[in-house]
Chain A
């Protein structure tokens, strides 16, 4: 499938995070570009995989600006300077609130209804009250949440809660959203719900970028167009360090494996390679 890589939309430079003197992640460098496909709005889906305790969650907190890195920086699009034209994406250092964050429990404000939560998420948007209401109503209809607009999180089904949490971040933050293990513990129906939400996000804006982590490698290969394997790097003497870093990057677009309806033999080979890299790390 033909595509073009345009402006840089995510740049991580020499990132390391230290907690109480212990290095959790180190030397993380990566660059992701805006992918454009003819006649289609195409967002980006980036995945991070790795064994437990390798620093994925810490990396995600750094990507969302929720923790100060010990070294390096994370650059994300400055939406206020984006005018819709290519090659006009300015990057800025990430701050709390620039990147959306959805945890595996799909946390919401427990005291806000779906409508109130979305309205609150849009409180800084430079829109009139009427425009905000229209935008929320339109999204509620598109995302199948119209009937539960006045319900609280404890009154929502799993799927409704997941969609609300993703939509809330979509309306409230920039174009980038980090999801920490969004498929963990979900049944087949709810996984389908989240996949549909991914499609909706990807198809709604060219710059929309979903970054997620998962232990389900098959699902990751099915959904992502770029996969990073995080693990402990090997030292020269063969031993492993105890901090996480990016060990391998698979660009599924370049490999001709992205945006396929079904997994083929090449996908299965990739899954094997990823699993081996993870096991070795």
Chain B
């Protein structure tokens, strides 16, 4: 095994060597964590405190809070993906394209301004949580989905046209059916932003629970063990969602090569 190769850019390594590198990193980070948290003065809580924090969170209904967060995420995702798909799928219609492009550009709008106006229109706090997420998710989804539509090669459009497809059939076959697997991929890519935003949005309505509420409570008591445990829980739930969507994509779309 040539260790030198591990430090050479663009080097292709065997699977066992890649696994060795990964193991070294995991052990190294774990050891570093133990080492820097063993003294009196420390910025980061030791593993044992994180474990205690996790147990405390579990006793306070962590599973219920995760379910609440996932429920909110699912509700907002469903509404925003339907809205975004309609906008993106109609973007090849020249008259409607400016609307889709304008909505995509709105992603530069600050969150605070939008929540201010939403607070005037929506009185229910849960609905407010959902709509803040829907608006922001939609803007990102629309941007990504417009990219997917734009990247469809002209050859695919011409191919469908040569087979006597009307323009609406081209849209159905090439854009909607032909790129359905990409929708799940767009979902995966954007879910990280959404998941991050979800925690912030949940603090709007403390009574509804959720991981965001737990973080807010932990912040208040400066319980570092709990905060880190919660961060790890959020990270792993997010990664779990990502893995699940990727699995579903591979399961449902055999023709997908992404």
Q: Could you tell me which A residues sit within 8 Å of B by CB distance? A: 61, 64, 66, 96-97, 99-101, 103, 105, 107-111, 120-121, 124, 152-155, 168-169, 172-173
**When the two chains form their complex, are residues B163 and A107 in contact, meaning their CB atoms are under 8 A apart?**
no
Q: Once the chains are docked, how many angstroms separate the CA of A154 from the CA of B178?
A: 13
**When the two chains form their complex, are residues B162 and A96 in contact, meaning their CB atoms are under 8 A apart?**
yes
Q: Which of B115-123, B152-160, B224-232 contacts A (4 or more CB under 8 A)?
A: B152-160
**When the two chains form their complex, are residues B162 and A99 in contact, meaning their CB atoms are under 8 A apart?**
yes
Of all chain A residues, the one with the shortest Cβ separation from B257 is A154
Q: How far is the CB of B217 from chain A (nearest CB, A)?
A: 47
The 6 closest A-B pairs by CB, nearest first: A97-B164, A101-B162, A152-B255, A107-B159, A107-B155, A103-B155
Q: Once the chains are docked, how many angstroms separate the CA of A153 from the CA of B256?
A: 10
Q: How far is the CB of B190 from chain A (nearest CB, A)?
A: 22
Of all chain A residues, the one with the shortest Cβ separation from B161 is A96
**When the two chains form their complex, are residues B153 and A107 in contact, meaning their CB atoms are under 8 A apart?**
yes
Residue B244, interface by CB 8 Å: no
Q: How far is the CB of B169 from chain A (nearest CB, A)?
A: 10
Contact of B163 among A111, A152, A154, A169 (CB under 8 A): A169
**When the two chains form their complex, are residues B161 and A111 in contact, meaning their CB atoms are under 8 A apart?**
no
Known: A103-B155, A105-B155. A111 touches B162 (CB 8 A): no
Residue B25, interface by CB 8 Å: no
**When the two chains form their complex, are residues B178 and A120 in contact, meaning their CB atoms are under 8 A apart?**
no
**When the two chains form their complex, are residues B255 and A173 in contact, meaning their CB atoms are under 8 A apart?**
no
**When the two chains form their complex, are residues A97 and B162 in contact, meaning their CB atoms are under 8 A apart?**
yes
**When the two chains form their complex, are residues B180 and A111 in contact, meaning their CB atoms are under 8 A apart?**
yes
Q: Which of B132-159 contact A (CB under 8 A)?
A: 153, 155-156, 158-159
**When the two chains form their complex, are residues B164 and A152 in contact, meaning their CB atoms are under 8 A apart?**
no
Known: A107-B155, A107-B156. A153 touches B162 (CB 8 A): no
Residue B4, interface by CB 8 Å: no
Q: Once the chains are docked, how many angstroms separate the CA of A109 from the CA of B159?
A: 8
Residue B220, interface by CB 8 Å: no
**When the two chains form their complex, are residues B153 and A120 in contact, meaning their CB atoms are under 8 A apart?**
no
Residues of B within 8 A of A155 (CB): 254-255
Contact of B162 among A64, A105, A120, A152 (CB under 8 A): A64
Of all chain A residues, the one with the shortest Cβ separation from B255 is A152
Q: Could you tell me which B residues sit within 8 Å of A by CB distance? A: 153, 155-156, 158-165, 173-174, 177-178, 180, 253-257
Q: Once the chains are docked, how many angstroms separate the CA of A61 from the CA of B153?
A: 16
Contact of B164 among A61, A96, A154 (CB under 8 A): A96
Chain A's interface: helix, strand, loop or mixed, by majority? loop
Q: How far is the CB of A100 from chain B (nearest CB, A)?
A: 6
Known: A66-B158, A101-B159, A103-B155. A111 touches B255 (CB 8 A): yes
Residues of A within 8 A of B253 (CB): 111
**When the two chains form their complex, are residues A173 and B173 in contact, meaning their CB atoms are under 8 A apart?**
no
Residues of B within 8 A of A172 (CB): 162-164
A-B contact pairs, 28 of them (CB 8 A): A66-B158, A96-B164, A97-B161, A97-B162, A97-B165, A99-B162, A101-B158, A103-B159, A105-B153, A105-B155, A107-B155, A107-B156, A107-B158, A108-B159, A109-B159, A109-B160, A109-B174, A109-B178, A111-B180, A111-B253, A120-B163, A124-B164, A152-B255, A154-B256, A154-B257, A155-B254, A172-B164, A173-B162
Contact of B255 among A101, A154, A168, A169 (CB under 8 A): A154
Of all chain A residues, the one with the shortest Cβ separation from B154 is A103
Residues of A within 8 A of B164 (CB): 96-97, 124, 172-173
Residues of A within 8 A of B173 (CB): 109, 120
Residues of A within 8 A of B256 (CB): 154
Of all chain B residues, the one with the shortest Cβ separation from A105 is B155
Known: A107-B155, A154-B255, A154-B257. A173 touches B163 (CB 8 A): yes
Q: Once the chains are docked, how many angstroms separate the CA of A120 from the CA of B160?
A: 10
**When the two chains form their complex, are residues B163 and A121 in contact, meaning their CB atoms are under 8 A apart?**
yes
Known: A103-B158, A105-B155. A153 touches B255 (CB 8 A): yes
Residues of B within 8 A of A105 (CB): 153, 155
Q: How far is the CB of A164 from chain B (nearest CB, A)?
A: 12
Q: How far is the CB of B176 from chain A (nearest CB, A)?
A: 10
Q: How far is the CB of B248 from chain A (nearest CB, A)?
A: 16
Q: How far is the CB of B184 from chain A (nearest CB, A)?
A: 13
Residues of A within 8 A of B160 (CB): 109
Q: How far is the CB of A262 from chain B (nearest CB, A)?
A: 34
